[in-house]
Amino acid sequence: MTQRHSTRGAWLIMLASLITIAICVYDYYTPETGLIGTGGVITVAVAGALMLMASLTMGLVANRGCFLQGFLVVSILLDIIGSSVAGYFLESPVIMAAQALALIGWLINVIGDAAERSVEIDEVEDED
Amino acid sequence: MKIRNFVLGALGLAAAAAAVTLVPMQHATAQGGNSDPAQTWDAFGGNQQAQKYSTATQITPDNVKGLKMAWEFHTGDVSSGAHSTTWGATPLFANNTVYTGTPKYNIFAVEPDTGKMKWKYSANGNNGDENQGLKNRGVAYWAAANPTAGACQKMVYIGTMTGELHGVDADSGKPCAGFGKNGVVDVNAWATKNSKWKIGLIQPPAVYKDTLILGWAGNDWVYKTENPGTVYGIDARTGALKWTFNIIPDDMMDQTGTANVWAGISVDPETGLAFLPTSSPSPNYYGGDRLKEMPYATATVAVNAETGEVKWARQLVHHDIWDVDINSAPTLVDIKKDGQVIPALIQANKMGLMVVLNRNTGEPVWPIVERAYPASDIAGEVASKTQPFVPYPEPLVAEHMPPVSKLADILSFGECSRWKARIRDEGRYTPPSVRGSISWPATLGGVEWGGGALDPTTNTYVVNSNLVPQIYTLVPRADADKKYGNALRARDGYAAQQGSAYGFKLENFLNMWGMPCWAPPYGIMSSYDMNSGKLLWRKPVGQVQKWGFYMPESWGSITIGAPAITKSGLVFIGASMDSRVRAIDVKTGNILWKHIVDAPAVAQPAVYTYKGKQYVAFAAGGNGILTPRLSDQLVAFALPN
């Protein structure tokens, strides 16, 4: 059963994922970064691409099932955690900063969604 | 520090006397006519004493954080794959020019303040006949003490892996017609005994007055008999052979070979003694066919630089069956001890021992004891019952390898501990065996071929070293031939040792994920007060980088390359896997500055001053042992104007 979920924060996550992908591409091709040609930045870039798809879904598909909503929330959080850890070991402050941005977007979405659920419940209770 | 200061204070008279002797030692390096002769870098080891020391004081611990890239120069000489390049050159600064050689055997002369190319000379050594890939550790520089009119009064030399030594005019880059045949000496033509390969002139020669002292690199793990490791004294002007020194005794030349000098050579400009670090005889890992003593092998040998006559020799590994070559130019030091000044040398080595010898006599400054070590269980092999051991100054490597890494063991489901349980491990000098033996330390050091650096004003010595066990397995000839046929080498670490009873397999002690099976650190830097022999500090150096991920600094990194030290109290070093160059506070070992370069800088940097500005230059060439990342970048750093 689908219901309306919050789309707030999704665009921030999308921005963070685009920053992640961009910095990974830059790192992969730039000798001065010390990460040129490394598998680590490819991994983070792939994670950024997955985050981009998830955030697009979150932002564009407001009416989605509970399973999809749960999947998006959990997978984006895992992506943020994984990319943050990777960014730490890649010693890339930009990747870590982008994940902080994504985390803010994620929190906005989760809190916004909870607030919307709360309003909906209140409305249902008022109708009762 | 207090103790050191006390000692220095108490020995003030001796220190003053030493200062008098130090001045000529430093100025002896000045052959380039620079305005600031003490701040040249005209030899692989900074000077011929292999001290890697600069009197420059512009860059200090207080301002080093502001160090910026001044210039970079790409030689274009880099390749990966079957013929990958290994570039461990130390750029030279002499004759108001920075010179470097490349692994494709070109010499580049560049402006010291801009990195712009002045000239290029191609030795055309890249003809596919190389015996160890494309390798180079730079160039040598010579200047006539009494120059005459005309060219080639200052020369730059580069060797090739095809056994040619090229000599060119330092001003123009044109070949010196009077040197060999049109600027080329065919050293390979002198090395005909048991010749299997053209000898590899990786390491630039040492220079003493008008003599070049030249060793070479070979393959000592492929055949039982190889070229015997002869060292050549060559006339710097004409290329004529002045003398030879044979490390292998004549009656052993049909049983073995190599024991060559493939690393740097240092020279005492006052006594004219050249100090040769000699390697192990062939084949590296089975000595059943070469049981007779060869006192010059795996030794430090002092010879007269102008005649090749042996003054003394000190064997540091008896009957080497571990490939623990003496692998770096000894660093010369005047030790102030017990009210005397002792002319000494430091030969930190692959076994992680701090050997300190009187350089005029070869006698140890601190005792060398003969310590009992395990016997071989291989038929026909007789490992030496004892080996030289130096308990003080404190060794760089402990007697036994560290415990198995719990993390690596858990993540490999116990692979590391199971592997270690089934192989032989009796600590340092465990002989190679058929079931496999832990070699600790192994051929990767201890100390690698750069050696250490010395501040001769304080006698502070810093040296980087590796903590790496490897697995040595002898493969009976029949099994080896069955599995590998006539192959001389294989990707799994096999080396044929053809002609002997055993092939050999070298494995890194890594788990299925490529993680080291032993606990870190993997690389350290140590600082000693060489007047007292006291260890001042020891810290991990560098970072392991795998797939781009940096491991904790506390793990350190395997390093290939060496430090340079400055009078202002800084140590500069690249050498680590993470392609970073660093400045370290010599007093504390703390890292004060780091910068990413294109590949690991696997040689010591050069520190020089030009037009009043101090530069630190690295050749960031890389080395496949550390990481696949290779480059052709020559880069210099300086403080902004």
Question: Is residue B6 predicted with pLDDT exceeding 90?
Answer: no
Partner residue opposite A89 with nearest CB, options B549, B579, B629: B549
List the single residue in B with minimal CA-CA distance to A35. Answer: B548
Compare CB distances from B578 to A27, A34, A43 and report the shortest one's residue: A34
Residues of A in contact with B548 (CB under 8 A): 27, 34-35, 38-41, 90
CB-CB contact of B441 with B351 (8 Å): yes
B580 shares contact with chain A (CB less than 8 Å): yes
Average pLDDT over every residue of B512-537 = 97
**B314/A contact by beta carbon, under 8 A:** no
Which of B547, B580, B633 has the CB atom closest to A34's CB atom?
Answer: B580
B583, B594 contact by CB (below 8 A): yes
What is the C-alpha to C-alpha distance for residues B142 and B470, in angstroms, rounded to an integer?
40
Of B406, B281, B396, nearest to B348 by C-alpha is B396
Choose among B622, B636, B619: nearest CA to B89.
B619
| Nearest C-alpha neighbor of B258 from the set B223, B288, B304 | B223
Total residue length of chain B: 641
> Which of A23, A33, A43, A89 to substitute to test the interface with B, most B CBs within 10 Å?
A89
At B302, give phi and psi (nearest 5°): -100, 125
pLDDT over 70, % of chain A = 89
Q: At a CB cut-off of 8 Å and minimum separation 6, what does B43 contact? A: B29, B50, B92, B140, B141, B206, B207
Residue appearing with tokens 């491990």 = B425
Q: For the purposes of burial, counting CB atoms within 10 Å of the CB of B591, is it exposed (0-12), middle (13-18) or buried (19 or more)?
A: middle
Residue with tokens 């665009």: A11
Neighbours of B13 (CB within 10 A): 10
At B59-90, the pLDDT tens digits run 999 999 999 999 999 999 998 777 789 999 99
Distance, in Å, from the CA atom of B346 to the CA atom of B331, rounded to the nearest integer, reads 5
- Taking contacts as CB-CB distances below 8 angstroms, the residues of chain A near B551 are 89
**Has residue B12 got a pLDDT over 60?**
no
Give the one of A33, A43, A91 whose C-beta lies nearest to B550's C-beta.
A91
Q: What percent of chain B has pLDDT over 70?
A: 93
Chain B: closest CA distance from residue A48 (Å):
17
User: Which residues, at least 6 apart from B267, have a Cβ–Cβ distance to it below 8 Å?
Assistant: B48, B49, B206, B207, B208, B213, B273, B274, B275, B305
Chain A residues whose CB is inside 8 A of the B581 CB are none
Chain B residue closest in CA terms to A28: B548
CB-CB neighbours of B262 under 10 Å: 24
| Residue pair A54/A75 in contact by the 8 Å Cβ criterion | yes
From CA A41, how far away is CA A37, in angstroms rounded? 8
Instruction: State which amino acid sits at residue B384.
Output: S
Is the bond preceding residue B600 a cis peptide, omega within 30 degrees? Answer: no
DSSP string covering A29-91: H-GGGT-TT-HHHHHHHHHHHHHHHHHHHHHH--EEEHHHHHHHHHHHHHHHHHHHHHHHHTT
Residues of A in contact with B547 (CB under 8 A): 38-40, 43
Q: How many C-beta atoms lie closer than 10 Å to residue B16's C-beta?
A: 9
**Amino acid B25: pLDDT:** 39
pLDDT-based confidence at residue B16 (cuts at 50, 70, 90): very low
Bridge-partner residues for B608, per DSSP?
B615
Provide the CA B400 distance to its chain's centre, in angstroms: 24
Of A33, A37, A89, the CB nearest to B596: A33
pLDDT for B30: 37
Q: Of the candidates B220, B175, B180, which has an alpha carbon nearest to the alpha carbon of residue B199? A: B220
How far apart (Å, rounded) are the C-alpha atoms in residues B541 and B581? 11
Separation between Cα atoms, residue B275 and residue B296, nearest integer Å: 12
A38 and B580 in contact by Cβ < 8 A? Answer: no
Residue of chain A minimizing CA distance to B72: A32
First to last CA, chain B: 34
CB contact under 8 A, A34 and B579: yes
Nearest to A38 among B548, B580, B633 (CB): B548
Stretch B533-546: mean pLDDT: 97
> Across the A/B interface, how many CB contacts are shorter than 8 Å?
33
Instruction: Give how far A83 is from chain B: nearest CA, Å.
Output: 12
Give residue-wise pLDDT tens across range B391-418.
999 999 999 999 999 999 999 999 999 9
Chain B interface disruption, residue of A38, A44, A83, most B CBs within 10 A: A38
Binding-site residues on chain A for chain B (CB distance < 8 A): 27, 31-41, 43, 86, 89-91
CA distance B589 to B591: 6
Residue A106 distance to chain B (closest CA, Å): 26
- What confidence score (pLDDT) does residue A126 get? 54
Between chains, do B549 and A37 touch, taking CB under 8 Å as contact?
no
Helix (H, G, I), strand (E, B) or coil at B19: helix
CB B53 within 8 A of CB B626: no
Measured distance between the N- and C-terminal CA atoms of chain A, rounded to whole angstroms: 22
pLDDT score of B23 more than 60: no
Query: For the purposes of burial, counting CB atoms within 10 Å of the CB of B403, is it exposed (0-12), middle (13-18) or buried (19 or more)?
Result: exposed
B547 and chain A: CB distance < 8 Å anywhere?
A: yes
Q: Rounded to the nearest 5°, which phi and psi values hold at B221?
A: -125, 10
Q: In this predicted structure, what is the pLDDT of residue B31?
A: 38
- A91 chain-B contacts, CB cut-off 8 A: 550
Q: Which of B166, B135, B297, B137 is nearest to B226 (CA)?
A: B297
**Mean pLDDT of the B316-341 span:** 96
Cβ-Cβ contacts under 8 Å, B578 against chain A? 34
Instruction: Give the chain B residue nearest A29 (alpha carbons).
Output: B598
* B548: contact with A, CB 8 A cutoff: yes
Give the mean model confidence (pLDDT) for residues B266-274. Answer: 98
Q: What is the distance in angstroms between the Cα of A112 and the nearest Cα belonging to chain B?
A: 36
CB contact (8 A) between residue A41 and residue B548? yes
User: How far is residue B183's CA from residue B455's CA, in Å, rounded to a whole number?
Assistant: 37
CA distance B277 to B297: 9
Of A27, A36, A90, the CB nearest to B549: A90
How many angstroms separate the CA atoms of A128 and A126, rounded? 5
- The β-bridge partners of B109 are B99, B119
Q: What does the pLDDT read at residue B53?
A: 97
- The string of pLDDT tens digits covering residues B449-473 is 999 999 999 999 999 999 999 999 9
The helix or strand, by DSSP H or E, that contains position A100, with its residue range, turns out to be helix A93-127
- Output DSSP code: residue B518: B
**Which residue of chain B is at minimal alpha-carbon distance from A30?**
B598
Would the CB atoms of B596 and A32 count as touching at under 8 Å? yes
Using a CB-CB distance cutoff of 8 angstroms, which residues of chain A are in contact with residue B579? 34
Rounded Cα gap, residues B525 and B396, in angstroms:
9
Question: What is the C-alpha to C-alpha distance for residues B493 and B473, in angstroms, rounded to an integer?
Answer: 10
Pairing verdict, β B564-566 and B53-54: parallel
User: Cα torsion at B27, B33, B38, B44 (round to 10°)?
Assistant: -90
Contacts of A43 in chain B (CB under 8 A): 547
Which residues does residue B408 pair with via DSSP β-bridges, in sequence order?
A: none
| Pairwise CB contact (< 8 Å): A91 & B579 | no
Q: Does B549 touch chain A (CB under 8 A)?
A: yes
Q: Do A37 and B545 touch (CB under 8 A)?
A: no
Fold annotation for B36-638: Methanol Dehydrogenase; Chain A (2.140.10)
Q: Is the pLDDT of residue A41 over 70?
A: yes
CA of B618, closest CA in chain A: separation in Å?
Answer: 15
HSE-up of B249 (CA within 13 Å, CB side)? 9
Q: Provide the pLDDT confidence category of residue A113 given band limits of 50, 70 and 90.
A: confident
Average pLDDT of the residues of chain B: 92
Q: Which of B69, B74, B596, B627 to mutate to test the interface with A (most CBs of A within 10 A)?
A: B596
**DSSP code per residue over B374-411:** PPP-STT----SEEEE--SSPPSS-SSPPPBPHHHHHH
Q: What is the pLDDT of residue B489?
A: 87
In the block, tokens 């550390």 appear at B626
Q: Does residue B11 surpass a pLDDT of 50?
A: no
pLDDT greater than 80 at residue B544: yes
What integer pLDDT is reported at residue B81 of this predicted model? 76
Report the distance separating Cα B203 and Cα B215, nearest Å. Answer: 7
Angle, in degrees to the nearest 10, between helices A10-29 and A39-60: 160
Long-range contacts of A73-80 (CB under 8 A, 24+ apart): A73/A106, A73/A109, A73/A110, A75/A50, A76/A13, A76/A51, A76/A102, A76/A106, A77/A106, A79/A47, A79/A50, A79/A51, A79/A54, A80/A51, A80/A106
DSSP B597-620: -SS---S--EEEEETTEEEEEEEE
CB B505 within 8 A of CB B492: yes
Q: Which pLDDT tens digit goes with each residue over B41-51?
A: 999 999 999 99
Q: Which two tokens stand for residue B370?
A: 């003969």
B631 vs chain A: nearest CA distance in angstroms?
10
Which residues lie closer than 8 Å to B358 by C-beta, 6 or more apart? B342, B343, B344, B364, B365
**DSSP-derived secondary structure for B520-537:** SP-EEEEEEETTTTEEEE
pLDDT of residue B196: 86
Instruction: Tell which wins on pLDDT, B10 or B619.
Output: B619
Q: Which of A27, A31, A39 sits opposite B547 (nearest CB)?
A: A39
Chain B nearest CA to A34, separation (Å): 6
Q: For a pLDDT cut of 90, what percent of chain B falls above it? A: 88
CB atoms within 10 A of CB A63: 9
Q: How confident is the model at residue A111 (pLDDT cuts 50, 70, 90)?
A: very high
Residues of chain B contacting residue A33, judged by C-beta atoms under 8 Å apart: 596
